[in-house]
Chains A and B, each alone.
Chain A
Amino acid sequence: MAFRLFASIILNKYLMKHSFLIAAIFFLSASASFGQRYFTKTGYVSFYSDTPIEKIEAHNKSANCVLDLNTGKLEFGVLIKGFQFEKALMQEHFNENYLESDKYPKALFKGQIDNYSKIDDTKNGKITCKISGDLTMHGITKKITTDAEIVVNNGKIEAESQFNILVADYNISIPSLVKDQIAKSVKVNVRLNLEQLKM
């Protein structure tokens, strides 16, 4: 009887120790996978339309982005009404007539980095990646592919990319009166400073 009690105490102690170990391993692996996610809420996006008659530029300072280094998946969101133009009239036309931001308030991108395994966030460096995915705006989703420059800098990730989008692809109709003032292909510029998501 005494022996059995003794044995069960030993077993219990062993299990407790073990369960702590299991919990510790679980916790470590979980935190390691969370540690691989990077995000920003203040990403910069601009676009530029260049024609001989008129140059139009707009900036957005509050783009969201989450990047998961374990899978190479990237999600990106921006508010259409957040784009600031130099001229109030252009901003008004952009929102009311072209992008219809009351109806379609956001532009979203869901994509995949091709060679994401080459991004090593433990040491500083710079690589160029191919990103492809779906860009949704004005109620229309289209595939886009672009190159991005990714810089690891002391535990932070800086990402930069330029690509062109065709206005016609997104069913944006531009009245013939101003069609010479607005480029058919608009150059988009994205710059992000991503920080590690700490859980």
Chain B
Amino acid sequence: MKKYIFYFLLLAIFGAGFGFYKYNQPHKETSGNKPDIIISPAELLKAYESDESAADKTYLDKIIETEGTVKAINEIEMGSSLTLDSGSELSSIICEFESKSAILEIKEGDRVKIKGFCSGKLMDVILVRCSLSKI
């Protein structure tokens, strides 16, 4: 009987430990992780404009690495955000960064390489939790 209680307690401790680990599991980050797909801003936009649901199947939640010219630094209140030129006047690639300091040294016209999770397309294709890669 004592043995069963012991096993039960052991299982409970493991269960609680696993639950606690899952609960506090950190986000998967783009920095330090290899990209799943490497694509140019123009190609990514084209894929979304020609068939959005097919593009969603290919790119959603994947780490996308893309290299392009900064069209604008967007003024936002939390974190930071920039727009990558995609050759189109109307639509671009918007890249969100979680920290306020992530792109302080970047300015309009700079050439950058960015990794981010694709979250889909509204007017623009949006990459979230981005990080800068060295060119």
> CA of A5 to CA of B104 in the docked complex: distance in angstroms?
70
In the bound complex, do residue B122 and residue A88 qualify as a contact, i.e. CB atoms below 8 Å apart? no
In the bound complex, do residue A79 and residue B120 qualify as a contact, i.e. CB atoms below 8 Å apart? yes
> CA of A89 to CA of B28 in the docked complex: distance in angstroms?
11
Over the window 53-90 of chain A, the binary record of Cβ atoms lying under 8 Å from chain B Cβ atoms (1 yes, 0 no) is: 00000010111100000000000011101101001110
Could you tell me which residues of chain A, from 77 to 134, have a CB within 8 Å of some CB in chain B?
Answer: 77-79, 81-82, 84, 87-89, 91, 102, 105-106
Known: A79-B122, A88-B28. A62 touches B61 (CB 8 A): no
Residue of A41, A91, A106, A193 ringed by the most chain B CB atoms within 10 A: A41
B120 contacts across to A, CB distance below 8 A: 79, 81-82, 105-106
Q: Does A163 contact B (CB under 8 A)?
A: no
In the bound complex, do residue B22 and residue A61 qualify as a contact, i.e. CB atoms below 8 Å apart? no
In the bound complex, do residue B126 and residue A59 qualify as a contact, i.e. CB atoms below 8 Å apart? no
Q: Does B123 contact A (CB under 8 A)?
A: yes
> CA of A59 to CA of B60 in the docked complex: distance in angstroms?
18
B61 contacts across to A, CB distance below 8 A: 81
In the bound complex, do residue A87 and residue B23 qualify as a contact, i.e. CB atoms below 8 Å apart? yes
> CA of A78 to CA of B128 in the docked complex: distance in angstroms?
13
Residue of B25, B60, B119, B123 ringed by the most chain A CB atoms within 10 A: B119
A84 contacts across to B, CB distance below 8 A: 98, 128-129
B117 contacts across to A, CB distance below 8 A: 81
In the bound complex, do residue B25 and residue A79 qualify as a contact, i.e. CB atoms below 8 Å apart? no
Question: How many residues on B have C-beta within 8 angstroms of the other chain's C-beta atoms?
Answer: 31
> CA of A79 to CA of B27 in the docked complex: distance in angstroms?
19
B60 contacts across to A, CB distance below 8 A: 81, 102, 105
B119 contacts across to A, CB distance below 8 A: 79, 81-82
B78 contacts across to A, CB distance below 8 A: 44, 59, 61
> CA of A191 to CA of B77 in the docked complex: distance in angstroms?
10
> CA of A87 to CA of B26 in the docked complex: distance in angstroms?
7
The chain B residue with its CB closest to the CB of A76 is: B122
Could you tell me which residues of chain A, from 42 to 57, have a CB within 8 Å of some CB in chain B?
Answer: 42, 44
For the complex formed, measure the closest distance between the CB of B43 and the CB atoms of chain A, giving whole angstroms: 20
